[in-house]
Homo-oligomer: A and B are copies of this chain.
Amino acid sequence: MTQIETLPIGELSRQTGCKVQTIRYYEQIGLMPEPARTTGNQRRYDPRHRERLAFIRHSRELGFTLEAIRELLGLTDDPDCSCEMVDDIARTQLLQVNQRIARLSALRTELVRMLEQCRGGRIADCRVIEVLADHTPASCLSQDHEAPIEAGGRHAG
């Protein structure tokens, strides 16, 4: 009898580049199905788990939310169905990416202008501080950053 290929969680982690904790987290929220367990209660995955996790990771890398990914995974359960909804989700994602780029470009413009105006002196005279203190046409020409944007984030290693 040939034995089917099974992976412990650390091996799956290595093969997909997804952290062990994250894999467990995906299971907890129902994105990954519960794998088989050894008698000692350790998870053992098969190649289909690996493919599903690769799908999830690649989608995340493309900026899809876990909710969108959940939907995409749901849709793939029905391979004969039209792919309209899949493409819709992807188009929505593209739209959001475009919006985020536009927003960030506006920020860049303002940051650059701010920095250009500073001649390096005392804080009391610093244009950076002045501009930050005053978002009106007098100081800041950009009108399109009304709402905050997620900054940096993820203290990732």
Contacts and interface: CB of A to CB of B under 8 A. Distances in A.
Interface string A101-127: 100110110111011001011111110
Interface residues of A, number: 71
A57 to B, nearest CB: 8
A148 to B, nearest CB: 4
A34 to B, nearest CB: 21
25 contacts: A17-B146, A58-B133, A59-B132, A61-B147, A61-B148, A65-B152, A72-B129, A78-B123, A80-B123, A80-B124, A81-B123, A82-B122, A82-B123, A83-B121, A83-B129, A84-B120, A86-B128, A86-B129, A87-B115, A90-B111, A90-B128, A91-B115, A96-B152, A97-B108, A150-B154
